[in-house]
Structure 1
Amino acid sequence: MFLTFPDGARLEVGSREDLNKHHETGYPLGYMHIAMSLGSKDKVDDLTKEIDAAGYKHLSGPRTTGDGYYESVVCDPEGNQIELTV
């Protein structure tokens, strides 16, 4: 379910049966990830390259997802997933 706020920000809230404790495979328990809209595919591509060059964990993408988002998924130093999207 998406909650949409007047300024256009959206919050996705949901529940899954297939949750697990691993940040890098499957879906972790509790907080899953934060998504940041960068405004363009070029910005997603560029920031993904910068993150890779800096040595941070890059999990997937850039790619277009099944629900139509262009995204790249990376991890912060603590292993939390960050979704970079348009």
Structure 2
Amino acid sequence: MKIEHIALWTYRLEEMKAFYEKYFNAVSNDLYHNRKKGFRSFFLSFGDGARLELMQMEGIPLNRNSTIEQYTGLIHFAISVKSREEVDSLTARLKADGFPLVDGPRQTGDGYYESVILDPDGNRIEITA
């Protein structure tokens, strides 16, 4: 078995799509639009592994979780890059472009080299090697 995809609700569908394409080389499918439900989505692929579905629909309430504090439930997902140097350079690029750095880059006790940044909606992404 494998995780097929993870989905995120957003009110910034095009901005979020552009973010993942620009910084993580995501490849998007064409926009899916269910006019009856007012639902729109993109599936983003990253070469291999799970895809990311970005979804938008009026009436979905904003997330009450803090972007810094942690709560039960899904708190982050990780995107693996090829090297520690790539973790460092991508982290520096994201930080320079104004995206919040939550932690790192650092070596973790369980063997990862990672940083944690926030996407435009405040979702935590671990950049790991």
Q: Tell me the TM-score normalized by structure 2.
A: 0.49
Q: Which one-letter code corresponds to 2:105 in the other structure?
A: P
Secondary structure at 1:43 match in 2: helix
Q: Which one-letter code corresponds to 1:22 in the other structure?
A: S
Q: Distance in 2 between matches of 1:37 and 1:30?
A: 21
Q: Distance in 2 between matches of 1:76 and 1:28?
A: 18
Partner of residue 124 from structure 2, selected from 61, 64, 81: 81
Greater relative contact order (Cα < 8 A, sep 6+): 1
Q: Distance in 2 between matches of 1:30 and 1:68?
A: 24
Per-residue CA deviation, residues 35-71 of structure 1 (Å, 9 max, x unaligned), is: 0000100100000000011001100100011111000
Secondary structure at 1:77 match in 2: coil
Identity %: 42
Q: Tell me the TM-score normalized by structure 1.
A: 0.71
RMSD: 2.2
Q: 2:98 aligned with 1:44, yes or no?
A: no
Partner of residue 34 from structure 1, selected from 45, 54, 77: 77
Runs (5+) with no aligned partner, structure 2: 4-47, 51-64
Q: 2:65 aligned with 1:24, yes or no?
A: no
More helix by share: 2
Q: 2:109 aligned with 1:66, yes or no?
A: yes
Q: Distance in 1 between matches of 2:73 and 2:101?
A: 21
Secondary structure at 1:72 match in 2: strand
